[in-house]
């Protein structure tokens, strides 16, 4: 059965130390200024955060055995949880940097593509994005309208993407986008993935969004107007883009679960401390069952979230070692993502209530976490999509 090793726990202590020393003192101001701390990314790279699932030949730390990558996805989730415990935007920067930036190239790229991009991405010298969502195609990702037409030795891309993380930083090197490249039997669209380097003519990064939360995270819309890239920028086989991004999302859902777990854990910690120190009617407010029961609920949410997240991460690692099926990972990922994201939203509501009027003030971190939590129920597949995936796995008609 799954459990965290002592190495994982030692790694957790290291990440927590980094997060509390180099991130936590600054996040309130970064959030207020909507500032993306580019300088933090190489420091995360130096500590190996971006290379946990990447083999050594590309600059990562994952061990190899007989040519098969022994991915430690569990360690990545530990890092995301601990960064997310301090700030969700920094947590999603790592989560998206690996899950949406590195993993598609690692999983489907040629050796030449991997050599060109992975060393800088692993070192934190660069970031990469993944362009799936469009203004008119969110959960219905098969409704992609962006097109890529082959013209000799080039692809000509036209279209738009929305809500793309890590796509417009000063160090963003490439964005992988899904695009329609033809038509299949029955009128279905053929979808492929194409890598578009930053600065390519015709590739425009729109102004950053004015978001409810994740104010430190870099998020932009993207447009492509007769954007030409070499035919060799195709990622994986032509027509396999749909299958590729489904795998990418499965892994991403577990990472989002780790991010949500970090948030719920922090709500438990902050609420417990506040309930012990805040006085009302001559005693700590935690002496009242109305408060203590809510804090107890937070403990249940945090523990359950952690178990579901690391079970899913363990299954993912076991699948990579050939010992578990894709279906098991997919179901566990959706269950974990559904529960942990909804628990995180509830946890911030409870924590804000425990803090009372102070919880409504930006002076207290619970307000920032309250704003950050809602997107967890939307990104990497909405709660409704997760319920659909879980029901299908149970054999219910689609």
Active site positions, annotated = 380
Residue 181 C-beta-side C-alpha neighbours within 13 Å: 21
d(CA 195, CA 197): 6
**Whether the Cβ atoms of residue 94 and residue 44 lie closer than 8 Å to each other:** yes
Residue 291 C-beta-side C-alpha neighbours within 13 Å: 23
Q: Which residues of 210-237 are buried (b: 16+ CB within 10 A; e: fewer)?
A: eeebbbbbbbbbbbbeebbbeeebbbbe
**Whether the Cβ atoms of residue 49 and residue 40 lie closer than 8 Å to each other:** no
d(CA 347, CA 373): 9
d(CA 295, CA 353): 11
Longest dimension (CA), the chain: 79
d(CA 234, CA 231): 6
For residue 101, what are the β-bridge partners? none
Contacts of 57-60 spanning 24+ positions with Cβ under 8 A = 58/106, 58/114, 58/115, 58/118, 58/119, 58/122, 59/118, 59/119, 59/122, 59/123, 60/118, 60/122
């Amino acid at each position: 059965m799954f459990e965290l090793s002592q190495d994982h726990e030692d790694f957790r202590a290291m990440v927590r130390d980094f997060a509390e020393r180099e991130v936590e003192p600054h996040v309130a101001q970064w959030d207020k200024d909507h500032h993306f701390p580019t300088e933090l990314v190489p420091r995360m790279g130096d500590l190996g955060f971006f290379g946990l699932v990447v083999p050594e030949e590309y600059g990562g730390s994952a061990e190899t055995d007989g040519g098969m990558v022994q991915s430690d996805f569990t360690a990545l989730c530990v890092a995301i949880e601990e960064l997310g415990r301090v700030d969700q935007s920094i947590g999603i920067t790592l989560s998206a940097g690996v899950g949406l930036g590195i993993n598609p190239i690692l999983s489907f790229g040629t050796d030449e593509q991997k050599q060109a991009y992975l060393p800088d991405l692993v070192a934190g010298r660069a970031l990469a994005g993944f362009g799936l969502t469009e203004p008119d195609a969110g959960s219905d990702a098969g409704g992609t309208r962006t097109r890529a037409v082959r013209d000799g030795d080039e692809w000509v891309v036209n279209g738009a993407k929305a809500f793309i993380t890590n796509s417009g930083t000063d160090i963003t090197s490439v964005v992988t986008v899904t695009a329609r490249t033809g038509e299949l039997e029955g009128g279905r669209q053929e979808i492929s993935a194409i890598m578009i380097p930053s600065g390519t003519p015709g590739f425009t990064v729109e102004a950053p969004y004015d978001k409810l939360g994740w104010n430190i995270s870099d998020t932009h819309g993207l447009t492509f107007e007769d954007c030409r890239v070499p035919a060799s920028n195709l990622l994986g086989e032509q027509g396999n883009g749909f299958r590729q991004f489904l795998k990418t999302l499965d892994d991403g859902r577990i990472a989002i679960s780790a991010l949500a777990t970090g948030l719920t854990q922090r709500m438990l910690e902050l609420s417990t401390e506040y309930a012990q120190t805040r006085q009302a009617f001559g005693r700590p407010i935690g002496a009242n069952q109305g408060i203590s029961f809510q804090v107890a609920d937070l403990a249940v949410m945090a523990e359950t979230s952690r178990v579901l997240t690391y079970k899913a991460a363990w299954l993912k690692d076991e699948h990579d070692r050939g010992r578990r099926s894709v279906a098991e990972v997919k179901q566990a990922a959706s269950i974990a993502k559904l529960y942990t994201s909804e628990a995180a939203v509830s946890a911030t509501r409870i924590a804000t209530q425990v803090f009372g009027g102070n919880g409504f003030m930006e002076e207290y971190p619970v307000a920032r976490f309250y704003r950050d939590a809602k997107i967890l129920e939307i990104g990497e597949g909405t709660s409704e999509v997760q319920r659909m995936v879980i029901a299908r796995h149970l054999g219910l008609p689609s």
